[in-house]
A and B are shown apart, each in its own frame.
Chain A
């Protein structure tokens, strides 16, 4: 005997979806209208009108989706009455699915529309403050040139950090009684450098070292002060990343290598580190992205990086569009890297599972 439990309820959700999409159209019309009435500039008024049209079109699409969800819900009801439960179930499931898509779309359309309206408010004041095309173009060349300094600082620091971080990590895991003082020093350094804000380290080094009159160190360029400060801070983080990688290699790998007659250092060099470093590439790249962004801190010690260059433009034009250029350059540089890290992580996870 077949006893089928009924199809899930679809009509309430579908009707809510219809209601929400109608509400969305209403909000677009009233909010768009109000903002448009407050705009004096005729060119901006035209833009505003077009924005409303586009948003209404998107809203109509959502309404269509909700309507289709409603149709499916009704069909499910009919199929239930005709005792065709299995068909009713699949109709109801499709209806609910479409209703949820309609909810999601409404939210997205609403959020984007509200943001654009915010830019249009007060005759486009927000847009003019942060994203004035003319100023952005004027400052772009100088800012981009200065950005080369950020890239230089980042790359040199990253190379130094890779090496020093590894040395710190190995020192932190130095074995036996003889290793105790080395371990202690490494832990003290790592704790200290992770506790002090990067900008403070930068400030202390950038303004402190020149005052010391130390040979070589005091006469370095501000770029090198920046590199030293970033390296000091980030090598502590990277040491911890390496350490987590080394610690995650199973002890049986140590047993296997030692049983063949390899010494502690040989085991580390040939078997543990090669595996550990492969594991920590994704978190390492993540930390490098953070380091790149922190190169913008160097403006506190007067290094002429992209941010500092942009600030000159900003203060002479009383407008922040040039600084937005810096933000955009960082975004353009960073997003491909984060995507790459995600891809590496996904691949690493897949390898672990398979």
Chain B
């Protein structure tokens, strides 16, 4: 049984159908990369998995438990599945440390000392140990995104959803964020990420999924998708990426 099972997931905003029946299984310790053009449904898929958007049809199961539909304790689900956003979304009125410890203290009922010690340890791992008392607007984009990742991990999720987390960063800051993802992948964190960083996707993912206009067009190991894609659309998409010098 896969850790996350998505079955015929459909989602529309009013008349506009964004996801037209997606089925996908993600095992524990797997890194799955969603690729595809803007508007293909990558972000919406991730938001649905975190129940930030409600789905119209289909089913989502996490760890065997159905988490879509009415009567689900969403706050519990979200503690299991963390999310990091393109625009960081740190809380600007809280310091880096408070951003990280508020969740563990209020929701996991950790003691303040324990939460702070854990935050310090995690910040140290992303080379931000000296920034604990800073406020988000005093940090660079790359630093903010690293804090956002730490904030998500501090909740001890079993899987992480990463929504184009390097897209809002200056090119020289992308590497510092990707390095952290690399480490997380090595430690066996289950991750689903939407990204335009093809080189990175090729390197770390176990499974690459190509989305096109709300449909899952092709999925497979990176060697297959990047090396010999079966679908015409996938080839065209990858050609555009290569022509732009991004792969």
Q: Is A260 an interface residue (CB 8 A)?
A: yes
Please indicate the chain A residues that have their CB under 8 angstroms from the CB of B148 in the complex. 256
- Of A258, A261, A266, A274, most B-chain CB atoms within 10 Å: A261
**At the interface, yes or no: A271 with Cβ under 8 Å from chain B?**
yes
Given known A259-B52, A260-B151, A261-B78, contact A270–B89 (CB-CB < 8 A): no
Question: Which among B47, B85, B106 is the interface contact of A262 at CB below 8 angstroms?
Answer: B106
Considering the chains assembled together, what is the distance between the CA atoms of A257 and B92 in angstroms? 12
Q: Which residue from B75, B90, B93 sits with its C-beta under 8 Å from A261?
A: B75
* Partner pick for A260 among B47, B76, B87, B103, CB 8 A cutoff: B103
Question: Does the CB pair A261–B103 fall under 8 Å?
Answer: yes
Complex: chain A residue closest to B148, CB-CB: A256
For B78, give the chain A residue with the smallest CB separation.
Answer: A261
A230 to chain B, nearest CB (A): 31
Given A255-B52, A255-B85, A270-B102, answer yes or no on A263-B75 (Cβ-Cβ < 8 Å).
Answer: yes
**B90: chain A residues within 8 A (beta carbon):** 256
> Of all chain A residues, which has the CB nearest B154?
A260
Q: Check: A252 CB closer than 8 A to any chain B CB.
A: yes
Residues of chain B with a CB closer than 8 A to A252's CB: 85, 87, 89
Q: Does A278 contact B (CB under 8 A)?
A: yes
Q: Are B78 and A256 in contact (CB under 8 A)?
A: no
Closest A residue to B84 by CB, please name it. Answer: A259
Is the pair B89, A261 in contact by a Cβ cutoff of 8 Å?
no
Instruction: Tell me, yes or no, whether B83 is within 8 Å of chain A by CB.
Output: yes
Residue contact A255 to B89, C-beta cutoff 8 Å? yes
For B152, what are the chain A residues with a Cβ–Cβ distance below 8 Å? 259-260
- Residues in chain A near residue B83, CB distance under 8 A: 255, 259
Report how many A-B pairs have Cβ atoms within 8 Å: 56
Asked whether any CB of chain A lies closer than 8 Å to the CB of B155, the reply is yes
The reply to whether B85 and A260 contact each other, CB–CB distance below 8 Å, is no
Q: B93 contacts which of A257, A258, A278 (Cβ < 8 Å)?
A: A278
Chain A residues whose CB sits within 8 angstroms of the CB of B175 once the complex forms: none
B141-178, CB under 8 A of A: which get 1 and which 0? 00000001001100100000000000000000000000
Complex interface bits, B78-112 against A, C-beta within 8 A gives 1, otherwise 0: 11001101010111110000000011001100000
CA distance A253 to B155 in the complex (A): 17
Q: Give the distance in Å from the alpha carbon of A261 to the alpha carbon of B151 in the complex.
A: 12
Q: Enumerate chain B residues within 8 angstroms of A257, measured Cβ to Cβ.
A: 91
Residue of A255, A260, A263, A274 with most partner-chain B CB within 10 A = A260
Across the interface, name the chain B residue whose C-beta is closest to A278.
B93
Q: Which residue of B lies closest to A259 (CB)?
A: B83
B10 on the interface (CB 8 Å rule)?
no
Q: Which of A242-277 contact B (CB under 8 A)?
A: 252-253, 255-263, 266, 270-271, 274-275
Q: When chains A and B are docked, how far (Å) is the Cα of A304 from the Cα of B61? A: 70
A161 to chain B minimum Cβ distance, whole angstroms, is 24
Q: List 8 A-B contacts (CB under 8 A).
A: A252-B85, A253-B91, A256-B91, A256-B148, A259-B83, A260-B78, A262-B75, A262-B103
A interface, CB within 8 angstroms of B? 252-253, 255-263, 266, 270-271, 274-275, 278
With A256-B90, A259-B152, A261-B107 given, name 11 new contacts (CB 8 A). A252-B85, A259-B50, A259-B52, A259-B78, A260-B151, A261-B76, A261-B103, A266-B106, A270-B106, A271-B91, A271-B93
Top 5 A-B pairs, shortest CB-CB distance: A256-B89, A259-B83, A261-B79, A261-B78, A252-B89
